[in-house]
Structure 1
Amino acid sequence: MEIGTASAIKGKLQELGAYVDEELPDYIMVMVANKKSQDQMTEDLSLFLGNTTSRFTL
């Protein structure tokens, strides 16, 4: 995926007030590339995003 996509993901995470390191946007891009469902992504990201997870995965 493109660097612009990673930047957009990082920006959205920051907008939600989530802690953002360099690996989390990459991890999210891998989940998208592997065609994980919304429910799977919500479950996998809840550890990182807590209460804001559903706002991110909608």
Structure 2
Amino acid sequence: MEFELRKKALASIESNVTEVQVVIIVLTRELAFKVCEFPVSSLVFFLTSYFPNFSNFRFHF
């Protein structure tokens, strides 16, 4: 059952590749705008809270 659902989902994606690409581009763009709305300090705090090794990176602005 699960295999058949995956097969149908992949077939649907393959037949609508252009539309899927547009949706991914739009969602990525919207996410980028949301990230840009955050103050830098909030973004750094968020990243270091959820990804402890992120504090090892150097920020260049």
TM-score by length of 2: 0.32
Structure with greater helix share of residues = 2
Point out which structure has higher relative CO (alpha carbons under 8 A, 6+ apart): 1
